[in-house]
Chain A
Amino acid sequence: MMELTALQQDALVELLNIGFGRAAASLSQLTGHRVLLDVPQVTLHAVDEVGEALERLVHGHVASVHQIFTGPVAGDALLILDESGAAILKELLTNEPALPLSIDASAREVITEVGNILLNACLGTFGNLLKVQVSFSVPHLSIENVGAILESLMVAHQGIRYALVVHAGFRLRDTQVTGYLMIVLSVASLDRLIHAVEDWEQAQR
């Protein structure tokens, strides 16, 4: 069982903050509202246990934006919001009342684009760090329970996998909405990422 050291955790938070900063700038520009994004916490879980961890954070049906990434580092990247969080985020970003997500295609599209921006920023940051080319699939939004999301993971059935769960706090117009970023990696990919993070951390000193 792998665990992150405090140092590795700090370095990951710092790196993700760079990516989130870029994403927040894009969202601010798109919406005309000041959007801030925080990474307060990063945890590592074995995929078998991540469902339990997620169910403590989000309840019932959740909206997830799922992108598969391939290349030297491969896996699944997801933004997970509970349904009310997704509705509030959409209302805040677009300034119009949300209909239920199931009938509001525009709201689903907005959430998909937000996830797309965030996931691109984070994985782009990792790609730059690792100096590798990462290719993405088209983001896909689904509304289902956590169990069904885990079933849909590309790497779900390939050996031992780990999931980085990142708390993503959106702050805009005096309101906070928390989403969760989940990056699922094979042991090899994770190992490579953590080494690169450590090297980067050394280089910062």
Chain B
Amino acid sequence: MSSEAPPTSPLATAVGRWFEQLGDRGVFVTDEALVVRHWNHWLAVQTGRTAAQMVGQPLFDLLPTFVERGIDSYYRDALGGAVRILSERFHRNLVPITRNFHGAGMTEMAQTARIEPLVDGEKIVGTITVIEDVTERVIAERELRNQIAASEQARQLAEDSSRLKDEFLATLSHEIRTPLNAVIGWTRILRTQPSIRSRARALEIIERNALSQLRLIEDLLDMARIISGKLRLKIDVVSMSEIAQAAVDVNTPAAAAKEITIDTAFEDDLPALNGDAERLQQVIWNLLSNAVKFTEAGGRIWLEVKRDGPNLRVSVTDTGQGIAPDFLPFVFDRFRQADASASRSHGGLGLGLALVRQIVELHGGAVGVESAGLKKGTSVWITLPALKISGQPHVPPFVPAEPVTLKGVQILIVDDENDGRELMVAMLQDYGATVRAVESADAALGILKGDAFTPDVLVSDVGMPGTDGFALVREIRTLPSERVRRLPAIAVTAYANPEDRVRALVAGYQSHIPKPVDANVLAMAIARLVAGSQPPADRTA
């Protein structure tokens, strides 16, 4: 204690002035009677109450909220020697100040403060309060916290979706294996016991399983196209009731096998709509086959098509196992199935309803599902915008199944894969064609450069080791012989996307047929090409 320094020393005065003029925080001082003695510039600016108004007045008269909030006790403690800090989190502020913060509207200033005794030797002569504006800090911390929460949420989502994909892959391999088991099993039986009586039955099972696998792969490809935005609709004026009826016809055998009845109710004079008939039939087919799958034997399914304001509404209602409320929001998500366990009782990939939603949304429509809960049945509906003027629904042109013949046509087949090659040879020989088959592009070029076999058409696989199908056709188009250069060519490939088709055509093929090959489609394509090119007589020229 320096008793020689009087309170009015130049240094004390200077320090006092420094606090008075301090611009970045509030400082006020009271005496031991808690009468305000100093009120600095910052406080005057922020509160709009000047030092002249404050100094000389009892603190709690000026700031009565201090008593209401119990802050008066901190001042009494300070007069007893205690220091008190007030965190923003617990107190929000000490002196309430409302101002327009960064022009973002009126907000309350976030503050931290401390209340300290002022000691002269052993005697407490007053209190000093220091207030700091921490609004910026509080906002920054809140933003940081939000960002952390958002990134945590994103991580969770990514984990969920990766888990869903894992589950999906497990399901996928199971679903692909199941029909293969039947195909391989029955094929072995046929081979080892050529005289079995149930031969026709075995072939039927093999075909059914192969088709079901094809359906699965088509669903997958459709989903891939939709995800990459490459699904194109072939829009026409179509009739929903015709489409729905066709889907019912397809599903009736499966329903009948489970003794499930499908009832239909189509409103009269339904307006037509703009849509892709094939895709919309896929939608209704999916809804119905789902209903059949999840409805127990002896159940019922209703298919209804009616007007709904400017839309057409199609609903499929069943008496099946229903959907638990917590799964309802995810019904239309891809890869989602209510039961993803290995022991689940229903097959499928969980793609059906996801495809339904995507196709309906591409048509500008909406989907929805209602279920009162497990064992209480399900109702799935779609709405599609109807045409205001009733147009003439498009009736797909009826193509008579003309018997195709390839008699006298010479075909060169290139495929590195033995089974695929043999299958095509057998198919085309069936139509009367003369067929040569080789396993590589180089072998094909060898034949084309010679005169021993002069094909009318080339049918080539695309993905082959060494020279692939693209390179083969490009080379053919540069060969010296005009006959060979102009040889019609068909690409047959498991790459079934529209871009693959374009790529094949650009490389020099006239036609592109996806695998698995339908014998009739291939034969028709060959017949068309042969008819469109030079007459076979030119061959010898």
Residues of A within 8 A of B (CB): 29-31, 67, 71, 93-94, 96-97, 99, 103-106, 109-110, 112-113, 116, 120, 124, 127, 133-139
| Contact status A139-B83, CB under 8 Å | yes
Question: Given A105-B137, A135-B117, do A112 and B87 touch, yes or no (CB 8 Å)?
Answer: yes
Interface residues on B, range: 20 to 34
Residues of B within 8 A of A (CB): 70, 77, 80-91, 112, 114, 116-117, 119, 122, 124, 134, 137-138, 141, 144-145, 148-149
| Contact status A135-B81, CB under 8 Å | yes
Q: Which 8 A-B pairs have the closest CB atoms?
A: A109-B87, A135-B81, A113-B87, A136-B83, A30-B90, A120-B82, A110-B89, A110-B87
Question: Given A31-B90, A106-B88, do A137 and B83 touch, yes or no (CB 8 Å)?
Answer: yes
Task: Pick the residue among B84, B88, B137 that contacts A116 (CB under 8 A).
Answer: B84
Q: How far is the CB of A162 from chain B (nearest CB, A)?
A: 23
| Contact status B117-A113, CB under 8 Å | no
Task: Pick the residue among A30, A31, A105, A127 that contacts B141 (CB under 8 A).
Answer: A105
Interchain Cβ contacts under 8 Å between A and B, 7 examples: A31-B90, A109-B85, A116-B83, A120-B83, A127-B81, A134-B81, A136-B81
Question: Given A124-B80, A138-B114, do A96 and B145 touch, yes or no (CB 8 Å)?
Answer: yes
* A120 to B84 CA separation, bound complex (whole angstroms): 8
* A92 to B438 CA separation, bound complex (whole angstroms): 77
Most buried by A among B117, B122, B134, B137: B122
| Contact status A113-B145, CB under 8 Å | no
Task: Pick the residue among A30, A116, A133 that contacts B80 (CB under 8 A).
Answer: A133
Question: Given A99-B145, A104-B141, do A138 and B89 touch, yes or no (CB 8 Å)?
Answer: no
Chain B residues with CB under 8 A of A137: 83
Question: Given A127-B81, A134-B81, A135-B119, do A103 and B144 touch, yes or no (CB 8 Å)?
Answer: yes
Chain A residues with CB under 8 A of B112: 109
Question: Given A105-B141, A106-B137, A109-B112, do A139 and B148 touch, yes or no (CB 8 Å)?
Answer: no
Chain B residues with CB under 8 A of A99: 141, 144-145, 148
* A93 to B80 CA separation, bound complex (whole angstroms): 28
Beyond A94-B90, A106-B88, 5 extra complex contacts between A and B, CB < 8 Å: A106-B137, A112-B87, A120-B77, A120-B83, A134-B81
* A53 to B116 CA separation, bound complex (whole angstroms): 33
* A89 to B226 CA separation, bound complex (whole angstroms): 51
Chain A residues with CB under 8 A of B138: 106
Chain A residues with CB under 8 A of B117: 135
| Contact status B87-A29, CB under 8 Å | no
| Contact status B81-A106, CB under 8 Å | no
Chain A residues with CB under 8 A of B87: 106, 109-110, 112-113
* A94 to B92 CA separation, bound complex (whole angstroms): 12
| Contact status A138-B81, CB under 8 Å | no
Q: How far is the CB of A133 from chain B (nearest CB, A)?
A: 5
A123, closest chain B residue (CB): B82
Task: Pick the residue among A29, A94, A133, A138 that contacts B83 (CB under 8 A).
Answer: A138
| Contact status A113-B81, CB under 8 Å | no
Question: Given A124-B82, A133-B80, A136-B83, do A113 and B141 touch, yes or no (CB 8 Å)?
Answer: no
| Contact status A112-B144, CB under 8 Å | no
Chain A residues with CB under 8 A of B145: 96-97, 99
Chain A residues with CB under 8 A of B84: 116, 120
Q: How far is the CB of B127 from chain A (nearest CB, A)?
A: 12
B130, closest chain A residue (CB): A138
| Contact status A138-B85, CB under 8 Å | yes
Q: How far is the CB of A3 from chain B (nearest CB, A)?
A: 31
Chain B residues with CB under 8 A of A104: 141
Chain B residues with CB under 8 A of A29: 70
* A177 to B122 CA separation, bound complex (whole angstroms): 37
Chain B residues with CB under 8 A of A30: 90-91
Q: How far is the CB of A19 from chain B (nearest CB, A)?
A: 12
Chain A residues with CB under 8 A of B122: 71, 133
| Contact status B80-A109, CB under 8 Å | no
* A163 to B15 CA separation, bound complex (whole angstroms): 38
Question: Given A133-B80, A133-B122, do A139 and B85 touch, yes or no (CB 8 Å)?
Answer: yes
* A127 to B81 CA separation, bound complex (whole angstroms): 10
Task: Pick the residue among A93, A96, A109, A136 that contacts B82 (CB under 8 A).
Answer: A136
Question: Given A124-B82, A134-B81, A138-B83, do A109 and B148 touch, yes or no (CB 8 Å)?
Answer: no
Task: Pick the residue among A93, A113, A135 that contacts B86 (CB under 8 A).
Answer: A113
Chain A residues with CB under 8 A of B114: 138
Q: How far is the CB of A112 from chain B (nearest CB, A)?
A: 6
* A127 to B122 CA separation, bound complex (whole angstroms): 14
Most buried by A among B83, B134, B141: B83
A30, closest chain B residue (CB): B90
Q: How far is the CB of B113 from chain A (nearest CB, A)?
A: 11
* A116 to B70 CA separation, bound complex (whole angstroms): 17
B116, closest chain A residue (CB): A138
A65, closest chain B residue (CB): B85
Task: Pick the residue among B81, B90, B148 that contacts A133 (CB under 8 A).
Answer: B81
Chain B residues with CB under 8 A of A139: 83, 85
* A29 to B71 CA separation, bound complex (whole angstroms): 12
Question: Given A120-B77, A133-B81, do A106 and B148 touch, yes or no (CB 8 Å)?
Answer: no
B119, closest chain A residue (CB): A135
Chain B residues with CB under 8 A of A127: 80-81
Q: How far is the CB of A174 from chain B (nearest CB, A)?
A: 21
Chain A residues with CB under 8 A of B88: 106, 109
Most buried by B among A29, A93, A104, A105: A105
* A134 to B117 CA separation, bound complex (whole angstroms): 11
| Contact status A71-B89, CB under 8 Å | no
Question: Given A120-B82, A136-B83, A138-B83, do A110 and B148 touch, yes or no (CB 8 Å)?
Answer: no
Q: How far is the CB of A47 from chain B (nearest CB, A)?
A: 24
* A137 to B119 CA separation, bound complex (whole angstroms): 11
| Contact status B85-A116, CB under 8 Å | yes
Chain B residues with CB under 8 A of A103: 144
* A103 to B122 CA separation, bound complex (whole angstroms): 39
| Contact status A67-B141, CB under 8 Å | no
Chain B residues with CB under 8 A of A113: 85-87, 90
Q: How far is the CB of A170 from chain B (nearest CB, A)?
A: 15
Q: How far is the CB of B146 from chain A (nearest CB, A)?
A: 11
Chain B residues with CB under 8 A of A120: 77, 82-84
Q: How far is the CB of B120 from chain A (nearest CB, A)?
A: 11
Chain A residues with CB under 8 A of B144: 99, 103
* A27 to B454 CA separation, bound complex (whole angstroms): 98
A133, closest chain B residue (CB): B81
Most buried by B among A104, A110, A136: A136
